[in-house]
Structure 1
Amino acid sequence: MRAREFTLITRSPLIPIEIHIVSSLAGKVVAITGGGTGIGAGIARGLAMAGCNVVIGGRRIEPLDALAKSIPSEKPVLTHPIDVAEPQSVTDFFSFVRNQVGEVDILVNSAGINIQNRTMATMVPEDWDRVMQINTSGAYRCILEVLPPMRERRDGIVINISSIAGKRAIALGGVVYCASKFAMTALGTAIANEVRHEGVRVTNVYPGEVNTPILDRRPVPVTQAHKDSILQPDDIASLVVTICQLPPRAHVPEIVIKPTTQEWV
């Protein structure tokens, strides 16, 4: 697989110097769930611009297509609907990826939801089931689709976009969101340990507050000033691209990224 080269020309008073930057991700096949908006969209843009063959999935095709058209990457970003809570939808999405661009080299599990009534007193059982189906079981189903070929090739990366709510059970996240993200933490860690001798790396990413559409479901409305002060999707994308560019011998099991102003205890 040929690496993609970038040329950077610097000028000094004496001599212009050309520096060739080679992207190790060129040609890699990337599948991203929850890729139409928020963190998933930022990661899609970052990996596409690094030369990857990116396929983004989500429940609504309109934002997927709009994002794909907005990314000026060398390789066009492909789109296909997916509802990670529905097993057949997951199967159909990954069949599309394999048929269009090949087996997945990098999976990004970014599909996730939260609810407005987040306390035990206000949450109903149907809310619990829906969040767990998407945030936890959905991630499991997607990993199950890509892991066997990765193990056979002895190469592959899985990025789970979790939350600091997967490290700390915080009231802001709520009961079921925290539970789903703690489960995602255990899922990623257990799989990473299982496949550590087979060339596959799994990373759990724990973002703090990020300016994404999920903020609109908070019990208390979030001001624009607050949205501007917290992490942006491109911040997470930069981190994920860096992790994916590491050599196969290097594994980042988990990493926390938060706004500078957000408390970490």
Structure 2
Amino acid sequence: MRELDAAGLAGRDDPMLRHHVDAAGVTRAWAAGGATVVEHAVAWGDSPPGALALLGLGPAADLDPLLAAVAGAGADPWRLVVEQTSADAVPAAWRFAPSHAWHWMLTRTPPAPDGAAADVEVVEVTGRTAEVDVVLDAVQRTSFVGGASAVETWLGVEGPDGGLLAVGALVRRPDGTGQLRGITTLPGHTGRGLATAVSAALTRRALEHGTGVATLGVFTDNGRAVRVYERLGYRVGHTLVAGRTGEPSA
């Protein structure tokens, strides 16, 4: 195990480290082989003051012993995000009840027209906060969006009466990478390509500026959404689980 400085972390060959991790929030980082563990500050609504999280990426053969070594060095994270393949190797002191597994996906290629979705009109809905919330609140398992100040733009699809049937947000990561969030369709209107059209439009917008990379997160058991994103050109970069440490499974 070796500890990384800022330059060493920036030199790691992993797109999630380059396009997702906020370098300004990193407190320490370690590497071994193809694995990297990053400690960073978190300031969410439910996080205690000074809370730290760990992100563990890389093949299990390298990541499993690296996690053990970092735990032995005294790291004490409030939350852990780790490759699904290393979930069973999480040190005992950090055991947590894993969340649903999710894919971190990315693309560098503008999506081609996608079937019926190519005829769906996508409009700017930034500022229509109450209407966007109606769509998000109608689906119990909504995607994480973050604070309103983090959103660069909201796009959506309107019904015949002008009401919103589907919405999605574009957020910029600190390095300028565009990240899709909150892609949601009202119940009763799924299967019509609305979310596909919103996702495609957001992806094109994301790629126009910044790093020329678009990313998103999607639960692995949401097979329909995963297939949509694959058709739009996204590929899986990492499959991860997350949870608060000290909350073991029952």
Q: What TM-score range do you get, normalising by the shorter chain?
A: under 0.3
For normalisation by structure 2, the TM-score amounts to: 0.27
**Where is the helix percentage greater, Structure 1 or Structure 2?**
1
- Normalised TM-score (structure 1): 0.26
Instruction: Identify, as 1 or 2, the structure richer in strand.
Output: 2
